[in-house]
Amino acid sequence: MDIKTMIDRVAAAVQAVREANPLVGSVTNGVTMEFVANAQLAAGGSAAMVYLPDEAEYLVEASGAFYVNMGTLMPVYEETIPAATRKAAALGRPWVLDPVGIGIGSLRGRLLADMAACPPSIIRGNASEILALAALWGLSDEQGCVRGVDATDEVAAARMAAVELARWTCGAVAVSGEEDLVTDGHTVATCRGGSPLMEKVTGFGCSLGGVMAVHAASADPFTAALASVLLYNLAGSRAAVAAQAPASFKAAFLDELYRADAMDVSGNHFSLQEV
Amino acid sequence: MDIKTMIDRVAAAVQAVREANPLVGSVTNGVTMEFVANAQLAAGGSAAMVYLPDEAEYLVEASGAFYVNMGTLMPVYEETIPAATRKAAALGRPWVLDPVGIGIGSLRGRLLADMAACPPSIIRGNASEILALAALWGLSDEQGCVRGVDATDEVAAARMAAVELARWTCGAVAVSGEEDLVTDGHTVATCRGGSPLMEKVTGFGCSLGGVMAVHAASADPFTAALASVLLYNLAGSRAAVAAQAPASFKAAFLDELYRADAMDVSGNHFSLQEV
Amino acid sequence: MDIKTMIDRVAAAVQAVREANPLVGSVTNGVTMEFVANAQLAAGGSAAMVYLPDEAEYLVEASGAFYVNMGTLMPVYEETIPAATRKAAALGRPWVLDPVGIGIGSLRGRLLADMAACPPSIIRGNASEILALAALWGLSDEQGCVRGVDATDEVAAARMAAVELARWTCGAVAVSGEEDLVTDGHTVATCRGGSPLMEKVTGFGCSLGGVMAVHAASADPFTAALASVLLYNLAGSRAAVAAQAPASFKAAFLDELYRADAMDVSGNHFSLQEV
């Protein structure tokens, strides 16, 4: 994979979303669902969130891609999440998993373990979450160390776990941190940008997963994940120029997400390495 | 209905809310419930949201009007929503329905079908939702075409469905779009204003329904619906002068909702036509 | 308790949070959970919200303190909230209660009544909520008069109820209003500041409770409650200089919450009185 081809693919992915306004359904975190929806809209998609099993199945079918975020699970998710992932597998619909909260509670553990049988197209998490998911699926011996919803591990420590997960799922894995890593199991992209303020506002990770689903509606998983990371880094860097505190930074970020064009995003710095 | 009378009624409705600070209970969409509450507060009301059946009954009784938004249904809503609408009917309490998501899932379909027996005072939706609801209640043969939570039909296409629904409910119906339509089944008001950015932020439709409930606490359904649409168009137009991207636009909109006075709202352009 | 000691304790509490970034788990209100999380992050903590019983137990154990807000109860909270409070009692973990909505619905009444047996470290509410809770626990004959989620009583009217509750719980009680009151049952602190715009945005009360939990992770209940009230009053006063309408005020407030340092907070005016 040479970098010029990748830059063109990223630009095409961002452009396609701006033109096609793809619908993306989500089962997602109550804390951040408004941020997820607004980020998906700002990136050029259309958003719909549901809690119930048959509604999730309907939306998987109606959407270009689907998003499952494991935060704030409700009892009914015991049915909703498997219904959605089975439907996505049956239809070959791309879907994105954010394993937030991995390690907390028995339902989350069971649902995530069962996903090994019908894996997501894209997995996005922080380093600790990616390490924990690879361990849960028997792909790695390292457990990672999640503290609530925060990472205590560095992105580099999750590199091999990410590669193994991407190979196992035949999809893409993105690890968020100071330096972001995106891999399809063969190529690893590393990207810099954004702002430390992204840690001071809830939902930057959750909404990045939602935006990956928007891009996965028309691009392959690796391109969709990388385009979304580059878009976030670009908008985050620009917002940090305009705002130095969390709430004004968040508003500036969503504004910049909306303003960013395909050339700006694909021109944001990243590098590629073969594994 | 002459326009001067209507202008006076709108001004009186907006003024009454600013003075009386009416409490409005809601069973509403998880994605946008904070926006709904903040819009209700900015318009001069007081907001309380609940999930459970007996809490909804309590709030129907304690509130000047009630709001039911059909987004993100939970299993318990199978009891909560009928409990609320039955209580509203028993007490003659005005209530507003937003049939968002109509067509998605079996519970939503059953709940909406049952509402034909104790209909809302105001229905607010996009053109596709209004067409679908009129079809569900057997008032029209056109089905409309909802895509997730978005309209694919034009407001004009839903004009007759809106009129039929308003006659059937003896209430008011508002169809949101580039040109908004509000009718009591005899008179049709058309209104312009707002901004295309209202489509780029989640919750403008949901929160407009919530603000209609605030006005319905003291005004008749048609006046309450029209006053709210005019208020939204005014605040949206003003916010679009201050902000050109979604997140800063949303903040500017809520600020303008708070600042708008009765004269400004009632003086915003609209026209009336007898059906 | 002399004021100089108290000022030093407040400064130390604010500083400790900025340095230790304590994790605080919450079972909290759907309307305002994003605001709660963002306020906890801006104050220097880390936030995680859950709905399910075993997840709440896990988070009580993993957190420095826990937050229970009684808004928007779900059916599963019948198990979740007692599981969390029993776990907190078993581990001696501090926790904060916001009895929002007291008087609405049977589940809320039962859950709050049962808390008399394993009481919170800090209770935060408006005057009507504090009066109603003291009456529910048999500590006072005055019932208070809650209207939805709003107070209809003055802070001064809840003074004795707050003192009785603080003595009964051996913790602290904070009553929010134009003039805020914080007591440990022996000393009463009164504080001024903030802005009337805090009533025009949903979640200032809820998020203050969440921020109290952040400070309770490292300070005693009285100091944690007082430090949080002073921090809110300071950030509110500063935000009111920058913004005169609700949405821009809210953003400015969160920015100021993030910027406030320990000296600024502890230097904000308050007075102490022995009961």
Q: Which two tokens stand for residue B83?
A: 């409990």
Higher pLDDT, C154 or B226: B226
User: How many Å separate Cα C18 from the centre of its chain?
Assistant: 18
pLDDT tens for C158-171 read 999 999 999 999 99
User: How many Å separate Cα A233 from the centre of its chain?
Assistant: 13
The average pLDDT across A81-96 equals: 98
**Residue type present at position B210:** G
pLDDT at position B144 over 80: no
- pLDDT confidence bin for A142, thresholds 50/70/90: confident
Q: Could you give phi then psi for residue C120, rounded to 5 degrees?
A: -70, 160
**Residue C170 burial class via C-beta count within 10 angstroms: exposed 0-12, middle 13-18, buried 19 and up:** exposed
By three-state DSSP, how is residue A69 classified? strand
How far is A230 from chain C, CA to nearest CA, in Å?
24
Assess contact for C57 and C83: CB atoms under 8 A: yes
Of the partner residues A46, A49, A252, the one whose CB lies closest to the CB of residue B31: A49
Q: Could you give phi then psi for residue A238, rounded to 5 degrees?
A: -65, -40
pLDDT at position B143 over 80: no
Q: Which residues contact A95 (CB under 8 A, 6 or more apart)?
A: A60, A65, A66, A67, A68, A84, A85, A88, A120, A121, A122, A213, A216
Q: Compute the distance between CA of residue A7 and CA of residue C235 in angstroms, rounded to an integer.
A: 44
SS (H, E, C) B106-117: HHHHHHHHHHHH
The per-residue pLDDT for A146 is 74
Strand partners, A25: A48, A66
For chain C, the average pLDDT equals 96
Helix C106-114, helix C127-136: angle, nearest 10: 70
Q: Compute the distance between CA of residue A28 and CA of residue A104 in angstroms, rounded to an integer.
A: 16
pLDDT at position C262 over 90: yes
User: How many Å separate Cα C209 from the centre of its chain?
Assistant: 2
- pLDDT confidence bin for B54, thresholds 50/70/90: very high
Q: Which two tokens stand for residue B164?
A: 């039929």
Q: Compute the distance between CA of residue B48 and CA of residue C88 in angstroms, rounded to an integer.
A: 29
Per-position b or e across C5-31, b if 16+ CB within 10 A of its CB? ebbebbbbbbbbbeeebbbbbbbbbbb
Whether B62 sits inside 8 A of C148 (CB atoms) is yes
Assess contact for C82 and C60: CB atoms under 8 A: no
The per-residue pLDDT for B153 is 82
Of the partner residues B30, B35, B245, the one whose CB lies closest to the CB of residue A30: B30
Query: What is the enclosing helix (H) or strand (E) of B41?
Result: helix B33-42
The per-residue pLDDT for B119 is 96
Any chain C CB within 8 A of the CB of B242?
no
- pLDDT confidence bin for A147, thresholds 50/70/90: confident
User: At CA B254, angle to CA B253 and CA B257, rounded to 5?
Assistant: 85
Contacts B–C by Cβ distance under 8 A: 94
Query: What is the enclosing helix (H) or strand (E) of B204?
Result: helix B204-216
Q: Compute the distance between CA of residue A4 and CA of residue A8 in angstroms, rounded to an integer.
A: 6
Which of 6-35 (C) contact B at CB < 8 A?
Answer: 30-32, 34-35
The average pLDDT across C44-49 equals: 98
Query: What is the enclosing helix (H) or strand (E) of A264?
Result: helix A262-267
Assess contact for A23 and A48: CB atoms under 8 A: yes
Q: Compute the distance between CA of residue B46 and CA of residue B21 in angstroms, rounded to an integer.
A: 6
What secondary structure letter does DSSP report for B94?
A: -
Q: Compute the distance between CA of residue A32 and CA of residue B140 in angstroms, rounded to an integer.
A: 39
Strand partners, C51: none
Contacts of B246 in chain A (CB under 8 A): 38, 41-42, 254-255, 258
pLDDT at position B152 over 90: no
The average pLDDT across A129-149 equals: 86
The per-residue pLDDT for A247 is 98
By three-state DSSP, how is residue A105 classified? coil
Contacts of A251 in chain C (CB under 8 A): 251
Half-sphere exposure in the Cβ direction for B70 (13 Å, CA): 30
C150-151 and C146-147: which strand pairing? antiparallel
Whether A51 sits inside 8 A of B34 (CB atoms) is no
The secondary structure of B131-150 as a DSSP string is HHHHHHTTS-S----EETTE
- pLDDT confidence bin for C148, thresholds 50/70/90: confident
Q: Could you give phi then psi for residue C41, rounded to 5 degrees?
A: -65, -45
% of chain B residues with pLDDT over 70 = 100
pLDDT tens for B167-223 read 999 999 999 999 999 999 999 999 999 999 999 999 999 999 999 999 999 999 999
Whether B73 sits inside 8 A of A52 (CB atoms) is yes
CA-closest candidate to residue B173, choices B223, B212, B133, B225? B225
pLDDT at position B264 over 90: yes
Q: What's the N-to-C CA distance of chain C in angstroms? A: 11
Q: Compute the distance between CA of residue C109 and CA of residue C87 in angstroms, rounded to an integer.
A: 21
Nearest CA in chain B to A251: B247
Query: What is the enclosing helix (H) or strand (E) of C270?
Result: strand C270-274
The secondary structure of A166-211 as a DSSP string is HHHHTSEEEEESSEEEEE-SSEEEEEE---GGGGSSTTHHHHHHHH
The average pLDDT across A103-117 equals: 97
User: How many Å separate Cα A20 from the centre of its chain?
Assistant: 20
Higher pLDDT, B53 or C141: B53
pLDDT at position A176 over 80: yes
Task: Enumerate neighbours of A (3 or more CB pairs within 8 A).
Answer: B, C
Of the partner residues A30, A35, A246, the one whose CB lies closest to the CB of residue C258: A246
**Residue type present at position A67:** Y
- pLDDT confidence bin for A143, thresholds 50/70/90: confident
Of the partner residues A50, A62, A258, the one whose CB lies closest to the CB of residue B200: A258
Helix B3-20, helix B204-216: angle, nearest 10: 90
User: How many Å separate Cα B243 from the centre of its chain?
Assistant: 25
The per-residue pLDDT for A88 is 98
pLDDT at position C152 over 80: no
Q: Compute the distance between CA of residue C217 and CA of residue C223 in angstroms, rounded to an integer.
A: 11
Q: Compute the distance between CA of residue A134 and CA of residue A115 in angstroms, rounded to an integer.
A: 12
pLDDT at position C268 over 90: no
pLDDT at position A144 over 80: no
Could you tell me where the DSSP H helices lie in C175-245? 204-216, 221-242
Contacts of B51 in chain C (CB under 8 A): 30, 72-74
Whole-model pTM: value is 0.97
Whether C148 sits inside 8 A of B63 (CB atoms) is yes
The average pLDDT across C34-57 equals: 98
Contacts A–C by Cβ distance under 8 A: 94
Q: Which residues contact B234 (CB under 8 A, 6 or more apart)?
A: B193, B256, B260, B264, B265, B268
N residues, chain C: 275
**Residue type present at position B37:** A
Where do the DSSP E strands lie in chain A? 23-27, 46-49, 65-69, 95-98, 122-126, 146-147, 150-151, 172-176, 179-183, 187-192, 270-274
For chain A, the average pLDDT equals 96
Q: Compute the distance between CA of residue C9 and CA of residue B267 in angstroms, rounded to an integer.
A: 56
Q: Compute the distance between CA of residue B244 and CA of residue A255 in angstroms, rounded to an integer.
A: 8
Q: Compute the distance between CA of residue B50 and CA of residue B57 in angstroms, rounded to an integer.
A: 10
CA-closest candidate to residue A9, choices A260, A228, A275, A245? A228
Q: Compute the distance between CA of residue A253 and CA of residue C9 in angstroms, rounded to an integer.
A: 37
Q: Could you give phi then psi for residue B274, rounded to 5 degrees?
A: -75, 145
Assess contact for B66 and B59: CB atoms under 8 A: yes
Q: Which two tokens stand for residue B243?
A: 């902000």
Query: What is the enclosing helix (H) or strand (E) of A45?
Result: none
Contacts of B50 in chain C (CB under 8 A): 72-73, 101, 104-105
- Residue A104: C-alpha distances to residues A72, A242, B237, C25, C214 (Å): 10, 37, 46, 12, 20
Q: Compute the distance between CA of residue A48 and CA of residue B70 in angstroms, rounded to an integer.
A: 12
Q: What's the N-to-C CA distance of chain B in angstroms? A: 11
The per-residue pLDDT for B142 is 74
How far is C157 from chain A, CA to nearest CA, in Å?
35
Q: Compute the distance between CA of residue C246 and CA of residue B33 in angstroms, rounded to an integer.
A: 16
